[in-house]
């Protein structure tokens, strides 16, 4: 089993040291864990939810290297990053990624509106027309992310549903925006994660929804898995559900990454390795 989406205390809204996440992954029988704290951004962009550039170089990067060496043979540790996509910051993020040897980069959309952004998540008291508009805008932004060249994996594809507000049924504009985003993911040879954290949120549903996973299968989009853990105990949470979807919508194959090169591995092979205690 592979968990490529984890956050540590360096993200400032998560708890637990990096080693605690690794130990939790080992305890749960995972074969790989990726550390993927939020990337540094230009000054003024959401400093409450990410490490600074100084923390990245002084703490994050060297600590991943230390833990890789310490736990060699017990678990594979991948050097990852969750990179925010926001128009106007692409050059900064692209340059930062190019200067570092990440195994993979998760791409995510958290904010819409004026820089540095306001919460994109619609809440139940919004008027229905506002919810619909936010959904459409959000998926248009995901399409831009997929076309940006910044990432390898699209994180929590339908995060916009997080707080439980839903658009009207049969909204053609939203459906079109979803399909355009999926087309961009396919055309740019990206992977999409099955993110289990939605099951722990108000929406109580995996990201992306099973309906979207069905569409992703139509577009032959490969999948990987992430818990989006913000505390060590959530590493690998609800992966029984995630891997049932891998079997159903990705032909039983999960994506792994090394130095940003993707490989698809049979889930049965991973299970065999895990059962052997390797």
pLDDT 10s digits, 124-147: 444 555 788 889 999 999 999 999
What CATH class is the domain 2-275?
alpha beta
Query: What's the confidence (pLDDT) of residue 134?
Result: 85
> In the prediction, which pLDDT does 268 show?
64
pLDDT of residue 47: 86
Q: What is the pLDDT of residue 274?
A: 44
Mark the ranges of the chain whose per-residue pLDDT is less than 70: 113-129, 169-170, 268-278
Q: 137-163 as b/e, with b when 16 or more CB fall inside 10 Å?
A: bbbbbbbbbbebebbbbbbbbbbbbbe
Please give the structure tokens belonging to residue 263: 């490989």
SS3 content of the chain, % helix, strand, coil (to 5): 45, 20, 40
Would you state the structure tokens that stand for residue 229, as one six-digit string?
């853990």
pLDDT at 90: 94
| 175-193 exposure pattern, b = at least 16 Cβ within 10 A, e = fewer | eebbbebbebbbeeebbbb
Domain range summary for the chain, segments of one domain joined by + = 2-275
Rounded to the nearest integer, the mean pLDDT of the chain is 90
Give me 135's structure tokens: 């959904």
């Amino acid at each position: 089993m592979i968990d490529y989406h984890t956050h540590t205390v360096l993200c400032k809204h998560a708890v637990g040291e990096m080693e605690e996440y690794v130990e939790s992954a080992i305890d749960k029988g995972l074969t790989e864990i990726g550390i993927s704290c939020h990337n540094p951004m230009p000054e003024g962009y959401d400093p409450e939810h990410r490490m600074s550039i100084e923390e990245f170089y002084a703490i994050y990067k060297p600590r991943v290297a230390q833990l890789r060496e310490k736990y060699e043979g017990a678990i594979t540790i991948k050097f990852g990053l969750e990179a925010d996509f926001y128009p106007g910051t692409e050059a900064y993020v692209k340059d930062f990624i190019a200067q570092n040897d990440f195994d993979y980069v998760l791409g995510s959309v958290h904010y819409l509106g004026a820089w540095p952004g306001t919460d994109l998540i619609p809440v139940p008291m919004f008027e229905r027309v506002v919810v619909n508009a936010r959904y459409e805008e959000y998926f248009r932004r995901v399409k831009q992310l997929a076309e940006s060249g910044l990432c390898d994996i699209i994180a929590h594809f339908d995060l916009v549903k997080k707080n439980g507000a839903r658009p009207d049924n049969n909204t053609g504009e939203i459906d079109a925006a979803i399909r355009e985003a999926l087309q961009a993911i396919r055309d740019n040879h990206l992977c999409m994660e099955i993110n289990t954290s939605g099951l722990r949120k108000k929406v109580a549903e995996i990201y992306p929804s099973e309906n979207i996973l069905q569409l992703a299968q139509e577009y032959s989009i490969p999948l990987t898995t992430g818990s989006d853990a913000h505390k060590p105990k959530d590493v690998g949470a609800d992966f029984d559900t995630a891997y049932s979807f891998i079997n159903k919508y990705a032909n039983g194959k999960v994506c792994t990454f090394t130095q940003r090169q993707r490989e698809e591995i049979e889930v049965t092979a991973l299970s065999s390795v895990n059962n052997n205690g390797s």
